A and B are shown apart, each in its own frame.
Chain A
Amino acid sequence: MEHGSVEDVKQHLRKCIMVFVGLLVLTVVTVAVSYVDIGTSGNIVLALIIASAKASLVGAYFMHLISEKKLIYSLLVLAALFFIFLIGLPLFHDADPIEVS
């Protein structure tokens, strides 16, 4: 995108403005669904799904990841794997807790 033509940039910005509107709508949805009681787990899962959808839109269009180079994708896959491991670490704690007598 960095060396795209003026017309390419204009087209990209038009898409970004649509994404911006979508993000505002999803923000309203995030707040609205938090008031719907579908159980703690249900609310957490739903909120994270909406947040992930918003984050994907920001990454794909605002950060230009939709048309990025292969090396950047490889870098992000590596970061994502370590991130998943980090987020999963508390599960190890649950699987093998230290019993206090």
Chain B
Amino acid sequence: MQIPYTVETRPDTGLHNSKLGIWLFLASEVMLFGALFSSYILLRINSPDWPAGHEVLNVPIAAFNTVVLISSSITVLLAWGAVKFNEFKKFRLYLGLTILLAFVFMIAKAYEYNAKFSHGLYPSTDNFLGIYFTLTGLHGLHVVGGLVVMIYFWGPGSGMFHSEPKHFADRIEVAGIYWHFVDLVWIFLFPVLYLL
């Protein structure tokens, strides 16, 4: 039996399943990160000596990573555009660039974590580092999740590009929306943790 509304939209909502599904998922993600941001506020306003982020953390690397994530957001959009224009090579190129940028982000993050650990700074050191590692660690897990999905669409999942192009375009759009959310969370994490 065919699952309805995978490609065609429901007449009452104007949406197909994956679009509604991703936004429901992202609404739950807002609550997940919201709870942690709320914890950050609680810890910060009740701490007598909260350190300035730039004194403890590496601002140039975080700024570099911000540019990397924003760039990966535009490349995933261009990959979606390439599917719409039926240009397979361009799709592989832009999605490949997105995957590469995601790896660059994670390598920079690993370098940052390693520098902290080598200076004896761990999540257990103080509340600031505890919430820093929790927020950036959870965000990093989301980057890894996005990477797994994009690698699948770049490789084994790309067969659908030719067999069901409309369905594939919707899948890339939905994966892109998730990826932009990961970018959006970082847009707040960067100033909150590193600059203030």
Contacts and interface: CB of A to CB of B under 8 A. Distances in A.
Given A13-B77, A63-B180, A79-B27, A34 B173 contact: no
A20 B176 CA distance: 15
Chain A interface extent, by class: 35 or more
A76 interface: yes
Interface string B38-80: 1001100110000000100001000100110011011001100
Chain B interface extent, by class: 35 or more
**Most A C-beta atoms less than 10 A away, residue of B30, B46, B81, B84:** B84
A62 B77 contact: yes
Contact of B190 (A9, A30, A86): A30
A97 B181 CA distance: 35
B24 interface: yes
Contact of A71 (B20, B42, B73): B20
Contacts of B63: 27, 31
A17 interface: yes
Contacts of A58: 73, 180, 183-184, 187
Interface string A51-76: 10011001100111000011110011
B67 A2 contact: no
Dominant secondary structure at the B interface? helix
A78 interface: yes
A44 interface: yes
A31 B194 CA distance: 10
A83 to B, nearest CB: 4
A1 B26 CA distance: 19
Interface string B7-22: 0010001111001100
A29 to B, nearest CB: 11
Interface string B75-97: 00110010011000000000000
Contact of B74 (A20, A27, A47): A20
B111 interface: no
B23 A86 contact: no
Nearest to B83: A9
Interface of A: 1-3, 6, 9-10, 13, 16-17, 20, 23-24, 27, 30-31, 34, 40, 43-44, 47-48, 50-51, 54-55, 58-59, 62-64, 69-72, 75-76, 78-80, 82-83, 86-87, 89-90, 93-94
Given A34-B196, A72-B19, A72-B20, 17 more contacts: A2-B19, A3-B9, A3-B166, A6-B84, A13-B81, A17-B74, A23-B70, A43-B195, A47-B195, A51-B191, A63-B181, A69-B14, A72-B23, A83-B31, A86-B35, A87-B41, A93-B42
